[in-house]
Amino acid sequence: MIRLALVGLGKIARDQHLPAIAKTEGIELVAIASRNATLEGVPHFASLDELLASGVAVDAVALCTPPQVRREQATLALSHGKHVLLEKPPGATVSELAPLVAAADASGRTLFATWHSRFAPAVEPARAFLAEHAPRAVTVEWKEDVRVWHPGQDWIFEPGGLGVFDPGINALSILTHILPAPFFLTKATLGFPANRDAPIEATLDFADNAGVPIRAELDFLQTGPQTWDIHVETAAGRLTLSLGGSKLFLDGTSLIEAPEAEYPGIYKHFVDLVARGASDVDLAPLQHVADAFLLGRRIVVAPFEG
């Protein structure tokens, strides 16, 4: 049984991690480290340092803190011999992950950079379909309301917080998993609120070596129904992953419609990785975001008040 400490008890931890941990065999929650929140019946510590110094028996930590502080926390946990699960995005930069991978390998511990959207029920079937039916064009619409999903969380618009790429990277994590060929950024436009340091909207154009066009439209100000759709044109028809990968359609005909199971999936995978003594750190989605910041044309849009 893996004794897990949850570091950071914000909205994502309460909404997703806690229920998933409770449903997963082979892992149990034994401690919380959070500056501002507690959980009844679970030992609480104000910081990861305090937890690690307490003597409470912990085998692994799940880091649900903002990405700007994850590198330091993961380094500390690995140095104390703990397995580490990283919420997405795994860090604020691409380069900070390689030393963590090396530290995990050197200590014989598991490092898992989670991409929860890859565990949505329609993702693997979509990948299998596209392995047999080559994509001709791809369109991504990933639009949600930051005020609903990140209420009062100013860190998301600070450097390293990724802004609209915090949800947008979920789409990229699916694309890098289901498309049969690697792709690269060709053009990007990023809309930065006049009073913020991260984008609130983005349009991205990609292509693969065969010239297949891929366009992604990201928006953090969509009100009403939220949109998390990926459309892929193929010779066999139009394949659509809808609602973040929970539904799959071919030319409008439903192929898969299943309840959300993403976070139970990541914890099941984490338990398996620990049992095998393996790590899983795919940096491709984060690399595409870094490329967008490097190549993208920045425009100033209206100030955002959360």
pLDDT score, position 258: 87
pLDDT score, position 37: 85
pLDDT score, position 233: 98
User: What is the dihedral sign for C-alpha 5, 7, 8, 14?
Assistant: negative
Residues 20-74: tens digit of each pLDDT: 999 999 999 999 999 988 899 999 999 999 999 998 999 999 999 999 999 999 9
136: left (phi over 0), alpha (psi -120 to 50) or beta: alpha
Active site residue 88: yes
pTM value surpassing 0.75? yes
pLDDT score, position 259: 84
Instruction: Decide if pLDDT at 97 tops 90.
Output: yes
Closest CA relative to residue 285, chosen from 139, 113, 112 = 113
Mean pLDDT of 177-190: 98
Tell me which residue has tokens 């085998």: 59
Mean pLDDT of 164-185: 98
Q: Over the chain, what is the mean pLDDT?
A: 96
Residues 108-161: tens digit of each pLDDT: 999 999 999 999 999 999 999 999 999 999 999 999 999 999 998 999 999 999
Cβ–Cβ under 8 Å, residues 301 and 110: no
Residues 6+ apart with CB under 8 A from 201: 164, 190, 191, 218, 219, 220, 221, 301
Query: What three-state secondary structure class fits 34?
Result: coil
Instruction: Decide if pLDDT at 300 tops 90.
Output: yes
Residues 204-243: tens digit of each pLDDT: 999 999 999 999 999 999 999 999 999 999 999 999 999 9
Mean pLDDT of 254-281: 95
pLDDT score, position 260: 81
Catalytic residue among 11, 23, 88, 247: 88
